[in-house]
Amino acid sequence: MTWPRSNFALIQKNALLLCISVMCFPTPAFSQETAPFLLLRPHCEEGEELCPDFAIRDPQTRETDTLSMGDILDIDLVIKNPAGTSFQRVRAWIAYNPEVLEGIRIDLSPEFSLPTPGENNFFSEEGYIKIGASADQELRKNTVIVARMQFRVKGTSAKNTLLTFFDSQHGAQSHTGIFSGMAETENTILDTDPGHLFVHVTGEDPSITQPMEKQEDVIMEKTSVPKEPLESVFSSLQVQNLRVTTEGSAVFLAWDPLPAAELIGYNLYYGTVSGQYTQKRSNDTASTSTTIRGLPTGELYYFAIRGAKNTVEETAYSQEVAVQVGSPASATSPLTGQLPQGETAQVVRKTPGISGDTGLPSGVLLLITASAITGMAFAFRRQCHASIIS
């Protein structure tokens, strides 16, 4: 039987619509949108249904209205929990620029009556807001306010800046997470990167009276000033979920792809002293894994990765991971998966700045590829969902 061309085109159109509806409106049977996530939003006391949200700048970033010198940025840290999953502890380290924003106050919600010692304050020397607290019982509500934070815009030289969640990785030691279970079996149920809040700041002092301008000049100025480009955001981004394992004298690493249009590659830094990296390995944007061979067995190595926009601008360092070469159990953030049978580490001569060759064994690479595809699909569905809500 031969199908008419018009019928075939109609079938194609319906199939496309079905595919889009599945991606943007997933059913509970396979949706990951029910997982809890963290959100920064304007402070609100009007009831959940009336609380506003910040505008979406890109899939990973929301943005404030424009603030001037002396203005107060008043925000809430919120847990969204669509499926009512139980949890009891929350932790959020948020990077900020103390030269632009002055921390004024942090008020924990009554829901979290057990603050974590040494946190819940502004650490301007380190550039972090550290929030950590537990509830006296398990929480299951769909929306839970964690804390209220207030900042004051500083100085006339202020510039746009970011509030960025730090180290939202899996594991009970993560610096950003939503945790369930008892202390011995506690794990994070935060599956997605919370993203960033882009804070629009102008250097003008609103208390200074400006000379009267013609209406035509005002209109021309508003139409000729472009929106702040995304370039100012890039350096505050962070590659997530760096993992490591080892076999013989080889070390295998993998990380999550960085969702940034300006990205041209990744720079992996490593060395034998924590925070001091003497070696560098560059990878293109298509690579989210690499192998370093010929390292001395038994030596402890530290690794961190940065996204690269060009030869001079990079993102912030990722969380540092470490492993003792030849001892997979020593990995601080293990890369799970089985190496192919008979895989051996090829020793190569080291050259300054570069050691070994790139690429993972096929078994590990298959695992990483499948994880990356699944993560990108979940991120796309969440983007669609967020766009519809907005």
Q: What is the structure's pLDDT at 33?
A: 56
Q: pLDDT confidence of 303, banded at 50, 70, 90?
A: very high
Residue 206 has pLDDT above 50, yes or no: no
Take residue 18 and report the two structure tokens written for it: 């079905």
Confidence of residue 382 (pLDDT cuts 50, 70, 90): very low
Residue 37 has pLDDT above 50, yes or no: yes
Question: Domains in the chain, please, with CATH?
Answer: 37-199 (2.60.40.680), 243-375 (2.60.40.10)
- pLDDT tens for each residue of 103-119: 999 999 999 989 988 89
Q: d(Cα 286, Cα 57) in Å, to the nearest integer?
A: 25
Q: Which residues have a Cβ under 8 Å from the Cβ of 196 and sit 6 or more positions away? A: 60, 61, 62, 162, 163, 164, 165, 233, 236, 237
> Over the stretch 251-265, which tens digit does the pLDDT of each residue have?
999 999 998 888 999
Task: Please indicate whether residue 249 or residue 218 has the higher confidence score (pLDDT).
Answer: 249
The lowest-confidence range among 125-134, 139-148, 354-363 is 354-363
pLDDT band at 278 (very low <50, low <70, confident <90, very high): confident
Give residue 361's pLDDT: 46
pLDDT exceeds cutoff 90 at 57: no
- pLDDT over 90 (residue 345): no
pLDDT, mean over the chain: 75
pLDDT at 71 over 80: yes
Say if residue 147 is exposed, middle or buried (CB neighbours under 10 Å; 0-12, 13-18, 19+): buried
Mean pLDDT of 294-310: 92
Instruction: Read off the pLDDT of each residue in 173-200 and give the average, rounded to a whole number.
Output: 83
Give residue for tokens 């955001």. Answer: 233
Distances (CA, A) of 387 to 20, 32, 53, 62, 346: 14, 16, 12, 12, 48
HEC sequence for the chain: CCCCHHHHHHHHHHHHHHHHHHHHCCCCCCCCCCCCEEEEEECCCCCHHHCCCCEEEECCEEECCCECCCCEEEEEEEEECCCCCCEEEEEEEEECCCCCEEEEEEEECCCCCEECCCCCEEECCCCEEEEEEEEEEEECCCEEEEEEEEEEECCCCCCCEEEEECCCCCCCCCCCEEEECCCCCCEECCCCCCCEEEECECCCCCCCCCCCCCHHHHHHHHHHCCCCCCHHHHCCCECCCCEEEEECCEEEEECCCCCCCCCCEEEEEEECECCECCEEEEEECCCCEEEECCCCCCCEEEEEEEEECCCCCECECCCCEEEECCEHHHCCCECCCCCCCCCCCCCCCCECCECCCCCCCHHHHHHHHHHHHHHHHHHHHHHHHHHHHC
pTM: 0.49
CA distances from 72 to 175, 207, 319, 372 (A): 26, 15, 31, 39
Q: Are 280 and 354 in contact (CB under 8 A)?
A: yes
pLDDT digits (tens, 9 = 90+) for 208-245: 434 444 444 433 444 444 444 444 577 788 999 999 99
Taking CA 273 as the corner, what is the angle to CA 348 and CA 258, rounded to the nearest 5 degrees? Answer: 75
What is the structure's pLDDT at 128?
92
Region 51-74 average pLDDT: 90
The amino acid occupying position 369 is T
Alpha carbon 139 to its chain's center: 24
pLDDT at 91 over 70: yes
Average pLDDT of the segment spanning 348-354: 34
Min mean pLDDT across 40-44, 147-151, 163-167 is at 163-167
384 contacts: CB under 8 Å, gap ≥ 6: 23, 24, 25
